Structure 1
Amino acid sequence: MRKFLLFLFTIHFAYATPFAYVTNIDNNIVSVIDTATNTITDTINVGNGPVGIAIIPNGSRVYVTNNRGDNTVTVIDTSTNNVTATINVGNGPEGIAITPDGSKVYVANNSDDTVSVINTATNNVTATINVGNGPEGIAITPDGSKVYVANNSDDTVSVINTATNNVTATINVGDGPTNIAITPDGNRVYVTNNYSDTVSVIDTATNNVTATINVGKGPLGIAITPDGYWVYVVNNSDTIISVIGTKTNSVITTINIEYGSLGIAITPDGNRIYVTSSDISVIDTATNSIIASITDVGTNGPVFGQFIGPSTLPGQEVNGTLPGQEVNGTLPGQEVNGTLPGQEVNGTLPGQEVNGTLPGQEVNGTLPGQEVNGTLPGQEVNGTFISIPLSLPGLEEQQKSLTVKVESGRLMDVKVVDNQPLDIPLPGGKKIELPYGIISFDLEVNNPGESTTVSLAYPYNPNIMGYIKKIDDQWFPIEANVRHDPDNNQTIISFTLVDGGVNDADGRVNGVIKDPGGPYIPQPQPSVTVPLSPLALGFLAALFGFAGSRKIRRN
């Protein structure tokens, strides 16, 4: 049975400044890091081979699994950083998770194929549950009803009902499932499969695998942004992080890092990612770039996940309690409109979707995920960004990206439909060229029938005149503004779309705008004519009468 020794950190948020608690497997300590300054502020002696960490949701205590012979869990009081209890569990404890109400701790015991259940009021083990072979990563749904356990040695995930502590389902996944993360709405579970280089996606309503996503080599750690839109996967064998969009369950971009990475955690505001390796790398989610490195933390080893608590300000009273206090096992100060964190409110999770935007927006016009010449530098925007590669011959390496920005609403899907230049024949021996092929995106507006402005930043091409859409196999030029920016090596095309309007490909007022199309260049060359609508023919005939204009209007 394969066995990982862990190096896990997580983020603690009982005070104004979040703290990271980092396990050091070889020297039996936990380092405490102030994430405001990214400096080590304390070290705590724990058991032998500390590997996993979970923080009680109110931030008052940290639970640490000790894997090398101790077979214990250490309990740390975060107000003093002193050890207050040591709990005997099963053999080879690794992954650990705490229920959202803070009442129970679930510990995956890798060597005896069990899960120990700890009552946090007494710090006693109250149940031992048999699961699959070699349990490692573990996670609990936001409503606290189910525990998902990755069984590394038999390629399954066990599902435990927390009310009865019985296994209710066993799910076959990829080869070597290692770590688990659950979306904030509780609808999907993402599992890293270390040996098959994939991530399995499980529907929690049916406990069926609904997607398998190819990622990098040796995926281990996994974390999901607080708004649920992005999944970050640490690939230990090829020094990259894969970024998955949850709307499409596809890898949107990758982040290069210096060393093979192990664990990953995201701050509760979604602004920063902490990645364990030889050092700890700090990544800004707005740009997906490394902004800091924390050294001299300790030795590293494989890791099973991240567990994040809420953030409150020091000294604040919340519903009559102080931060860090437990009130009947609940989370003081965490009620949202009468519900607890993780509970659904009108079908959504409190605080998870804000105006339908994506994480990392409003970054002076730059793209969250990649800093490329295709971004919109210096613009203050209030919307959504994404970047996709353009695989076109003749483009410089730094030019191979398209940035898509929306002023309001949310991009649901962006893809290149045809990544080759296309010629569209016109009557009279003329034609237009689509130099970057066809892109397609689905855009969700805030309310049905609303409009939004879209900006596309392509590699610089001074010949681009406008934008043309394809609807029902016919081409329609639309009103667009074209701005050429040679200094930043980009051509920016902006236009307004209305849900259910003439430029919405599905033609329905349904809250979603569909847009297949691309930028075009007039090319006076003989060609075979293809059918075009009368509207398109009239417009394109007028177009060549003022080919020098940069503003295209549809009649």
Structure 2
Amino acid sequence: MPEHLIVLNKDEDTISVIDLEKHEVVNTIETSHNPHEIVITPDGKKSYIACSLGNKVDIINNETFEIVKRLEHPDFNFPHGVGLTQDGSKLYLASTYSEKVFIINTLTDEIEKIIPTNQKLSHMISFSPDGNTVYVPNIGSNNITVINVQSEEITTHFPVGPGPEGVAVHPNGKHIYVANQDDDTMHVIDMETYEVLYKRRVGNIPVRLVFSQDGKYALIANRGSGDISVIETEQKINGQVRPWEIKRIPVGIWAGGIVFNRDGSYAYVANNKTNDVSIINMNTLKEETRIDVGIHPDGIAYVKK
């Protein structure tokens, strides 16, 4: 079954489809203006692309790689972060400047509910591993909004560092990791108490954070320093177990979106300013090669079909 990457080229309004066996772009598709973030349904059949400056969500049929529908709403004001419930039935979309979260039914592709965060610059969407909770980093409020998926209501907000953008929950379901772009730190937060357990210095302007499937590593894209911080989440040393940065991997300029392949053996990084994608071997923790794509690639997704 072929493996592909879908890469969003923000400054030319296209997506590049990469065949990972050939290591080359096999299709280029025009999108609405400024495609930023992407999520793929669990069955791999559809992609949802937030086109931030076009204030649209493009929906792609992954069998044909054609846009089949475009969603619009008057309150789409820089739609950005996207995420799906575990069964894929609902899409959560964060609209940065309207500071609202939209819930979209993926069967009908219609907006079902709009939740104002009442925070500043609500930017990304991240689900807990059990699918019951959504975390929305608010860059301008220096906090995270917590949404209960069952009730579709905000339950709380909790403070983090300045300028939070990258956020993800460890697969163990116990710790929330947050990348704070304004002070170059990562916070590890207790999922129940929201206490900051660890603070770690990472690279310059960390903007994305993802976990390997087994939870061994967190990868953080550092936009300002052109590298990836590799966090070993349970480093064992001198009788201690702690999250620790064990390496920084140089990649292209303005590292952005990161995604793993299905078995976690490789990670892929979209480099905004060198217009390419870095391929990182997770066994050697080294960049193996790069693949040229379009102008200003950022959002990235892996699909096997």
**TM range, normalised to the smaller chain?**
0.7 to 0.9
Deviation, 1:253, is 2.2
1:74-473 equivalences in 2 (<5 Å): 74-131=16-73, 132-173=76-117, 174-277=119-222, 278=225, 279-286=227-234, 287-295=242-250, 297-300=251-254, 303=256, 306-311=258-263, 326=305
Structure 1 distance, partners of 2:187, 2:95, is 22
TM-score (normalizing by structure 1) = 0.44
Give the counterpart letter for 1:310 in structure 2: R
What amino acid sits opposite 2:246 in the alignment? I
Structure 2 residue matching 1:231: 3-state secondary structure = strand
Alignment of 1:14-25 (within 5 A): none
2:4–2:304 CA contact under 8 A, matched in 1: no
Cα distance in 1, alignment partners of residues 186 and 136 from structure 2: 15
Q: Answer with 1 or 2: which has the greater Rg.
A: 1
Report which stretch shifted further, 212-221 or 139-148.
139-148
Determine which of 62, 65, 69 is the counterpart of 2:8. Answer: 65
Q: 1:209 to 1:88 in 2, by over 3 A?
A: same
The change in CA–CA distance for 1:91 and 1:64 in structure 2 (over 3 A counts) is same
Cα distance, 1:308 vs structure 2: 4.4
* Dislocated runs of 4+, deviation >6 Å: none
Structure 2 Cα separation of the partners of residues 90 and 269 of structure 1: 35
Q: Which letter maps to 1:281? A: S
Uncovered stretches (5+) of structure 2, i.e. residues with no partner:
235-241, 266-302
2:171 aligns to what SS in structure 1? Answer: coil
1:301-339 CA-partner distances (Å, limit 9, x unpaired): 6x5x655453189xxxxxxxxxx863xxxxxxxxxxxxx
Runs of 5+ unmatched residues, structure 1: 1-57, 314-323, 327-555
* TM-score normalised by length of structure 2: 0.79
Structure 1 Cα separation of the partners of residues 258 and 219 of structure 2: 10
Count of residue pairs the alignment pairs up:
256
Check whether the contact 1:59–1:309 (CA below 8 A) recurs between aligned residues.
no
Looking at structure 1, the residues matched to 243 and 149 of structure 2 have their Cα atoms a distance apart, in angstroms, of 29
1:118-140 alpha-carbon deviations (Å, 9 max, x no partner): 00000000111114211111111
> 2: CA distance between counterparts of 1:126 and 1:114?
13
Give the Cα separation in 2 of the matches to 1:309 and 1:178: 25
| SS in structure 1 at match of 2:215 | coil
Change (3 A) 1:325 1:176: closer
1:108 Cα offset (Å): 0.2
1:266 and 1:273 in contact (8 A); partners too: yes
- Distance (Å, rounded) in 1 between the aligned partners of 2:263 and 2:184: 31
- 1:480-499 → structure 2 map (5 Å cutoff): none
> 1:263-322, CA deviations, whole angstroms, 9 ceiling, x for partnerless residues?
111111100111111121111101211111112x11116x5x655453189xxxxxxxxx
1:59 & 1:169 partners in 2: Cα distance? Answer: 36
User: For the structure 1 residues 312 and 242, does the alpha-carbon distance in structure 2 shift closer, same or farther, using more than 3 Å as the test?
Assistant: closer
What do residues 37-89 of structure 1 show as CA deviations (whole Å, max 9, x unaligned)? xxxxxxxxxxxxxxxxxxxxx88111111111x11111111112111111111
Residue 277 of structure 2 corresponds to which residue in structure 1?
none
Note closer, same or farther for the CA distance 1:209–1:250 as it changes in structure 2 (3 Å cut): farther
Give the distance between the partners of 2:258 and 2:135, measured in 1 at CA.
13
Which of structures 1 and 2 has the larger relative contact order (alpha carbons within 8 angstroms, sep 6+)? 2
Supply the distance in 2 between the matched residues of 1:309 and 1:171 (Cα, whole angstroms).
Answer: 32
1:184: how far off? 1.8
Distance 1:59 1:153 in 2: 38
**Larger strand proportion of the pair:** 2
Going from structure 1 to structure 2, the CA distance change for 1:83 and 1:90 (only over 3 Å counts) comes to same
Q: 1:272 to 1:116 in 2, by over 3 A?
A: same
Q: One-letter code of the match for 1:311? A: D
Aligned sequence identity (%):
32
The structure-2 alpha-carbon separation of the partners of 1:219 and 1:264, relative to structure 1 and needing over 3 Å to count, comes to: same
1:231 touches 1:244 (CA, 8 Å); kept in 2?
yes
Retained in 1: the 8 A contact 2:44–2:304? no
Q: Distance in 2 between matches of 1:80 and 1:258?
A: 32
Check the 8 A contact 1:182/1:190 in 2, yes or no: yes
Q: Could you tell me how far apart the structure 2 residues matched to 1:210 and 1:307 are?
A: 29
Whole-angstrom CA distance in 2 between matches of 1:258 and 1:128: 37
Any conservation in 2 of the 1:97–1:106 contact (CA below 8 Å)? yes
Q: Distance in 1 between matches of 2:182 and 2:2?
A: 33
